[in-house]
Copies of this chain bind each other. A is one copy, B any other.
Amino acid sequence: MADLKLDQFLPYRLSVVSNRVSAAIATAYDRLFGLRIPEWRLIAVIAEGPGITQQALGVATRMDKVTVSRAAQALVERGLVARTPNEGDRRSHLLALTATGRLLYDQVAPKALELEAKMLEQLDADERRALSAMLDRIEAAANEVAPEGVGAD
């Protein structure tokens, strides 16, 4: 009989840790800025390169197009993001932060980095690099095991 202890099982550990981290971040963003995680992710990517389509946002954030669509609508309604017609392709629009959106981003981003720093506090630079590289390799392997599968949170 196989020797399998759940809390030594990596997929389980990964899921637990990721959920804790996500929950901590989600709570903070929601309380401080009224943002959900998908919304915050869109803002982060739009801030980097304004004039982006939703489909590109989906690729960048690895979120489903439905999730992107809903988050984008919420942000537009809140006046944080504006849509301009895409001349090249009228099926889509181009998204950019409004002035208000930019202002919010300038508040959220430092807070995000601060939260991240708190969670990484006990890792030194080498460890962080190693962690990041390992995550990349694990993700690649997972993609091989089952090519599909997305999932946001």
Contacts and interface: CB of A to CB of B under 8 A. Distances in A.
Interface of A: 1-2, 4-28, 41, 44-45, 47-48, 60-62, 106, 109-110, 112-113, 115-116, 118-123, 127-128, 130-132, 134-135, 137-139, 141-146, 148-153
B109 A4 contact: yes
B135 A44 contact: no
Given A119-B145, A120-B141, A130-B130, 4 more contacts: A11-B25, A14-B18, A16-B62, A151-B153
Contacts of A123: 134, 137-138
A20 to B, nearest CB: 4
A45 B149 contact: no
